[in-house]
Structure 1
C-alpha cells in the first residue's frame, strides 16, 4: 500500500519551491514562532484517494490521489489599506501549474521532481483549474488548482 503522508509532504514541498511562499496543510501556514503567516501563501487540501488506476497494468499496487491547492493573495506587508489582487493570485497559480510542467527539451517525465516517499513513484500528474474566490473583508483573492497524482509502488 502507498502511504498518503509522504505524497502530501512531497507535493507541499514542491509547491513551496515553485511559488517561493509557505504552504499550509489544511490551514494557514505558521512561521518559526508558531504564528500564522500573512498572505501570500498556499493552502493544500488532500481530497479523494482511489487504489485503482483503472489501467490494464494495475496490479493492486497503485493509487490515484487528488489534492486542491488554494493560492491566497494578500495585502502588501507594511502598506496600509493595500489589497490582495487577482494579479498576485494568478501569479501564484501560474507557479502552481509548474507541478505538471514537462521538460522544455521534450524528454519524458516532468520538469520538477516530486518526491512521494520511499517505495513509490508518481508516473502521471494532472491539473485542473477550479476557479477561485474573493473575500473583500479580508482583502484577499484566491485561485484554485486541483491535482491528480497517479502513483505506483516500486517495492
Structure 2
C-alpha cells in the first residue's frame, strides 16, 4: 500500500526546492521558531487519494493522489505600501509547475525526481490551473494549480 503521508512529504519537499520558498501543508508555513512565514509561499492541500485499481486481485500497488497548490504572493516585508501582485503569483506558480517538466535531453521520466517513499515511483504527473484569488485588503494574490500524481510500487 502507498502511504499518503509519504507522498505528501515528498511533494512538499519538491515544491519547496522548485519554488525556493516555504510550503505549508493545509496551513501557513512556519519558520524555525514556529512563527508564520510572510508570503510569498505555497499552501499544499491533499485532496483525493485512490488506491483501488478496480480489479478483483487488487493488491493496492497503485494509487492516484490529487493535490491543490495555492501559490500566495504578498507584500515585500518592511515595505509598508507594497502589495502582492499577479506577476509574483504567476512567477511562483511557474516555478511550481516545473513539477511536470520533462528532461530537456529528451530522455524519459521527469526533470525533477519526486521521492514518495521506499519502492514508490511516480510514472505520470498532471497539472491543471484552477484559477486564483485576490484579497486586496491583505494585499495578497494567489494562483491555484491542481496536481495529479499516478503512483505505483515496485514488485
- Between the aligned partners of 1:87 and 1:140, the Cα distance in structure 2 is 12
Q: How does 1:1-155 map to 2 (within 5 A)?
A: 1-52=1-52, 60-155=60-155
TM-score (normalizing by structure 1): 0.94
Unmatched runs of 5 consecutive residues or more in structure 1 = none
Do the aligned partners of residues 53 and 144 (structure 1) sit closer, same or farther apart at CA in structure 2, a change above 3 Å counting? Answer: farther
- Contact 2:2/2:60 (<8 A) preserved: no
- Between the aligned partners of 2:137 and 2:41, the Cα distance in structure 1 is 18
Do the aligned partners of residues 83 and 18 (structure 1) sit closer, same or farther apart at CA in structure 2, a change above 3 Å counting? Answer: same
Unmatched runs of 5 consecutive residues or more in structure 2 = none
Offset at residue 77 of structure 1 (A): 1.2
Offset at residue 52 of structure 1 (A): 3.6
Give deviations 1:90-145, integer Å, cap 9, x for gaps: 00000011000000111000000100011211111111000100001110000010
Aligned length: 153
- Between the aligned partners of 1:96 and 1:64, the Cα distance in structure 2 is 19
Runs of at least 4 residues of structure 1 off by over 4 A?
A: none
Do the aligned partners of residues 137 and 54 (structure 1) sit closer, same or farther apart at CA in structure 2, a change above 3 Å counting? Answer: farther
DSSP 3-state at the match of 1:149? strand
Q: CA RMSD in A?
A: 1.4
- Contact 2:48/2:66 (<8 A) preserved: yes
